[in-house]
Amino acid sequence: MSDLGLNAPQHGGQLGEGYGRLRAAGPDFSHGIALYLEKVSVWFDAFQALNDLSLYINEGELRCIIGPNGAGKTTLMDVITGKTRPTQGTAFFGQNYNLAKMSTEEIAEAGIGRKFQKPTVFENFTVMENLLLAAPKNKQVKKSFFSRLEPDAQLALEQSLEQIRLKGLINKPAGLLSHGQKQWLEIGMLLMQRPKLILLDEPVAGMTDAETEHTAELCLELKKNHTLIVVEHDMSFINSISEKVTVLAQGAILAEGTLAEVQTNEDVIEKYLGR
């Protein structure tokens, strides 16, 4: 990883008055790397959740993160989305966004979207209404979801419905969807925001085999136009989508490689997979 570190952003990046221009320009992936985490540590009082962790995610990559409970997976995602600030180290989205100095709202606007394990959809609203509510709004003009969509939002809506396979259920209340369909709807709501980097937290937890298979297909489809980080415990699902896997344990990277490589790593077997 040291060679990647040479291309990392300068740590003196500031937001200040120039942030509006950065946001308009979008993340700078000119070095081919979407996310830089360098020597990140997070302490909660006497507990160290992340321990000197360095992680680099290439633009267009689908990276899977696995590890035992308490390994630091959620804290890692919290750092990326601004919910938790690093105690030490740096976190950059592209070359120009210093995540440690941005609010969660600014990070979302910059192009990072996160889907939590438990789907959070508006159950009394239809599939269509949920998607429209997630579309970016002009903050200076109050619009309802019955307003005419801008061309970009209309395209995002059509693409989202196609990808999540809910086109035939647009008028169905979200509360009547299956667990898997709610998960897909929430992914569709993320897609309405046109994110560059998508974080998926245990996306197939509680799904049927058929739903898990479709979610794998959806992740591979999303990879064509997005960078993805997927946190999951289901090894068969990881096997169906992964190219590179990062294993966390005790807040640090235990191993990286293909799933086959990390599954035969002695440290991974001892600390996570068991014998």
What does the pLDDT look like over 201-243, one tens digit per residue?
999 999 999 999 999 999 999 999 999 999 999 999 999 999 9
Give the per-residue pLDDT at 156: 79
User: Percent of the chain, pLDDT > 90?
Assistant: 72
- Residue 17 pLDDT grade (very low, low, confident, very high; cuts 50, 70, 90): very low
CA distance linking residue 73 with residue 201, whole number of Å: 9
Residue 13 has pLDDT above 60, yes or no: no
Secondary-structure class of domain 1-104+243-275 per CATH: alpha beta
Q: Which long-range contacts (CB under 8 A, 24 or more apart) does 131-138 make?
A: 131/157, 131/160, 131/161, 131/185, 131/188, 131/189, 131/192, 132/157, 132/192, 133/189, 134/188, 134/189, 134/190, 134/192, 134/193, 135/192, 135/193, 136/192, 136/193, 136/194
- Residue 7 pLDDT grade (very low, low, confident, very high; cuts 50, 70, 90): low
CA distance linking residue 88 with residue 263, whole number of Å: 30
Give the per-residue pLDDT at 9: 65
Give the per-residue pLDDT at 4: 46
Quote the longest CA-to-CA distance of the chain.
60
Q: Where are the domains of the chain?
A: 1-104+243-275, 111-229
The answer to whether the CB of 64 falls within 8 A of the CB of 262 is no
Instruction: Output the CA–CA distances (angstroms, integers) from residue 228 to 58, 93, 145, 184, 223, in the order listed.
Output: 10, 13, 28, 15, 7
Residue bearing the bigger pLDDT, 137 or 97: 97
List the 47-58 sheet strands across, edge first.
47-58, 33-44, 88-93, 97-98
Residue 267 has pLDDT above 70, yes or no: yes
CA distance linking residue 116 with residue 77, whole number of Å: 10
Q: What is the pTM of this model?
A: 0.87
| DSSP-assigned states of every residue in 161-226 | HHHHT-GGGTTSBGGGS-HHHHHHHHHHHHHTT--SEEEEESTTTT--HHHHHHHHHHHHHHTTTS
Least confident of 11-25, 101-115, 142-156: 11-25
Topology, domain 111-229: Rossmann fold (3.40.50)
Average pLDDT over residues 23-32: 82
Average pLDDT over residues 130-141: 70
Please, what is the average pLDDT of the chain?
Answer: 87
Give the per-residue pLDDT at 8: 58
Name residue, tokens 């509680």: 206
The answer to whether the CB of 57 falls within 8 A of the CB of 63 is yes
